[in-house]
Amino acid sequence: MTQGLAVGVIGGTGMLGRSLVAGLLDSGLLRSGALWVANRSGTRGALPEEVRVTADAQELVAGCDVVILSIPPAQFGALDLDASGRLVISVMAGVSLARLAERSGASRVVRAMSSPAAARGLAFSPWCGAIGDADRARVTALLAAWGKTAEVADESQIELFTAMTGPVPGFVAQFAACMAEFATRRGISPSVADMAVRQLFLSAGEMMAQGAASPQDHVQEMVDYAGTTAEGLLAMQAAGVQRVVDIGLDAAVARTRKIAG
């Protein structure tokens, strides 16, 4: 059963947690009054009145079927929690399934990744975990409330996505910043460069998200067109653009794998 769940987000007023809460509120999956948030202070912040807020994570667990962990990895070791009998979903970077089960006492444990784009239903939220069919349906429904979701093979793949799709706009912003820098160094005003680059990434994102062509297909189409863009793309490829991206993402994955939780 995926409708009528009671769900709690520990860390649900943080940068990611409040976005997850917003996505869940819009989902229609939860019973009325069945969304809980726990944080350190017990303060509501901007959360709507229908969300139940507590400073006591164990009180949240008592009221919920599903417990979502969205606190900083460094805080997880100090979290005193007995979530046995609950379905636990973590979106924390770097914290392993074994550590989640050991620290929470839960046997139904999922390791996922998401992003603050969840508030707009635009996140990509991959997950893994050894769970049964009913829990798989619950997890898929909850994570779909934040955007797209996919079950992946194992934790090492979650670590790749922690680097790639967790940080929004993250590495895409780096590419946009490089283009804005190119323009301003050649005399275009910073405000015009900023507007142009934002509009380019909006339109490119929409076209890639909705069109049939993959990003690789888009690149090949432009190369085959053999115009001005082809010249630039081939020069970037020859200069090692894939290697630069590999180096950056490998470094972010390595950092994720150093987190012990």
Range 222-261, binding ligand A1CAB (CB under 6 A): none
- Build a one-symbol-per-residue string for 83-112: x at contacts with ligand A1CAB by CB under 6 A, - elsewhere: ----------x-------------------
CB of 52 to ligand A1CAB, least distance (A): 26
Nearer to ligand A1CAB, 167 or 248 (CB): 167
Residue 162 in the binding site for ligand A1CAB (CB under 6 A): yes
Residue 105 binding target from ligand NAI, ligand A1CAB, none, CB below 5 to 8 Å by type:
none
Residue closest to 147 by CA, chosen among 47, 9, 4, 26: 26
What does the binding site for ligand NAI look like in residue numbers (CB under 6 A)?
Answer: 10-11, 13-17, 38-40, 57, 70-73, 75, 79, 91-93, 114-116, 166-167
- Build a one-symbol-per-residue string for 41-80: x at contacts with ligand A1CAB by CB under 6 A, - elsewhere: ----------------------------------------
Residue closest to 123 by CA, chosen among 58, 70, 177, 45: 70
Distance CA 133, CA 70 (A): 24
Torsion sign (Cα): 121, 127, 133, 139: negative
Among 63, 105, 121, 167, binds ligand A1CAB (CB under 6 A): 167
Residue 227 binding target from ligand A1CAB, ligand NAI, none, CB below 5 to 8 Å by type:
none
Binding site for ligand A1CAB (CB under 6 A): 93, 162, 166-167
